[in-house]
Structures are given as structure tokens and as C-alpha cells.
Amino acid sequence: MARETGDASEEKTLNTDVPKWLVRTAALAAGLTLLAGCAIDKGSALAADFEEHWADTADVAEIDTYGANTLPFMGSATGTLILEDGTSADRVAELANELGAYVADNCEVTGEITAEGVTFAVAPDSGRTGQVVEMWESLTADDRVSSGAIDIGFQNEDSWTIEITAADGSGAMAVFNEMAADTDPYRPFSSATVTTLEVSTVQGAPTSLRVATDNEGRVPAAAIAAYEAVAAQYTVVGGALLSEHGTERASIVVATGADAAHADELARSAAPGLTDLEVTVESGN
């Protein structure tokens, strides 16, 4: 009887140990399954998913993607739908809303659309995307604008970042001034709390100009005043008018043969508080 009792005790011990091993084995298998379902290069996987989802979409000529693999199983992606030339504004708006919904469902993906030379990011909500499409329409309808890029802050919905390329210096200055003001064509941008704006001329333009706010939207008003004072009397062939961390600077280049001293005097008289100011004459060939 004692032996039988011992055997029964041993058998009972073995029976209780088996389920523990089974639990550990099942847990390990489940963990491996979860890892297999999550790509180690997550950014690349998100980019591939984007391409697959939007493949063969009507009016999409090309899909451009970029995946950032920050850490194993962590990353993000940017996907851009490049539309066919001549795609209607209604179709652009439709695709923008569809892409916005995709971004809302895939928070680690940034969605963009390129149409008529202007690229814009969509928002996870249709109201915000509607404002972006308005801005896109305003830029593409402006003959002075050659190309552009519109980015918006998803965390701060009153944040815009816009980069524009204009055909010439006068167009660049006019577009910048209009966008910095509260004018109707650009009202969604100008009504924002923080707006970062940069307008520059295309490469090879007779007048090379770059005008930019800082990242808090501060306009280089004094630098612009100096530039315009010089441009009123001399041919200006180059300029950079910038606001950087609240400090303005201006670099103005006038055509060969201009009176550099007089041009400098004009600039400083128009902007007496501007200390970072340089006026030079174009070097001869």
C-alpha cells in the first residue's frame, strides 16, 4: 500500500507539471506569432502598404513613398500621390478627403498629394483638409507661382508651413506680401496663429530673391522696407530678406554700375533699426 501511495503521489506531481510546460510553450509560440505579424522594418512596411492600398487609383500617375525605420518594429512613412496633369479640382478634393481618412486610420503615415506643381499634406479630419485644398487652389490659380509645398501641423491645427517658388522677383515679393496680409485668396493661411512662409524665385530668374518669416511667423518688415527703397531707384538683381528667431537681416545686390553708397544709404534710411544689412553691387563678368 505504501508503494502504491508513493506511485500515486509521483504520478500526481507529473500531471501538474505538464500543464506548466504547456503554458510556457504556448506563451512563447504566441510571442513569436506577434513578432512575426509586426515587421522589424516598420517604416518600410508602412510604405509598402501605402503603395498597395493606392495602386491603380484613378487619376494617380505615380506613387512616391518613404519609410523611416527608427528602431526595430518602430517607424513611420510618408506617401505622396502624384496626380495626372489636368486632374479637376473636385477630384483633387475627393482624393484629399480619402487620403485624410487613410491617415486617420494609420497615424504613423503622413499623406501628401502633388497636383499642378503644388504638393500639400492632408489632415486626419475633413474640415482641416478642406482648408488645405482651398490653399492649393489659390496657389495653382496664381500665375506668379511656379511651384509650392504646403505642410500643416497636426498637433497645432493653427500652424502652417508653406514654401513657394515664383517666376520672378517682383512676383515673389508680391505673393509674400499678399500671403502675410489678410487677403481673400490666402485667408486660410493668414488666419492661422503660427504661419511659416518662404517665397523664392526660380533658378535663373533675372532677380534672385528669397523672403522668409521665422518659425513663429514673424515677417521681416524692416528688411522688406530696405529692399523696396533700393528697388525703387536701382535695378536689384538679388536679395535675401529673412527673419530668424525674431532678428531680421537683409542682403541686397544691385546691378553693375549702381552707386553702392547711395543704395546703402537708401536702405538704411528706410530701415534705421535694421543692423544686419548689406548692400553690394553685382560683380562684373
Mode of pairing for the β-strands spanning 159-166 and 247-254: unpaired
Q: Would you call 254 helix, strand, or coil by DSSP? A: strand
Whether this prediction's pTM lies above 0.85 is answered by no
Question: Which pLDDT score, from 0 to 100, does residue 3 have?
Answer: 41
Query: Using CA atoms, how far apart are residues 206 and 257, in angstroms rounded to an integer?
Result: 16
Question: Which pLDDT score, from 0 to 100, does residue 163 have?
Answer: 96
Question: Which pLDDT score, from 0 to 100, does residue 276 have?
Answer: 97
| Contact between residue 152 and residue 133 where contact means Cβ atoms under 8 Å apart | no
Query: pLDDT per residue over 5-29, tens digit each?
Result: 444 444 433 344 445 544 444 443 3
| Contact between residue 123 and residue 151 where contact means Cβ atoms under 8 Å apart | no
Query: Using CA atoms, how far apart are residues 84 and 60, in angstroms rounded to an integer?
Result: 6
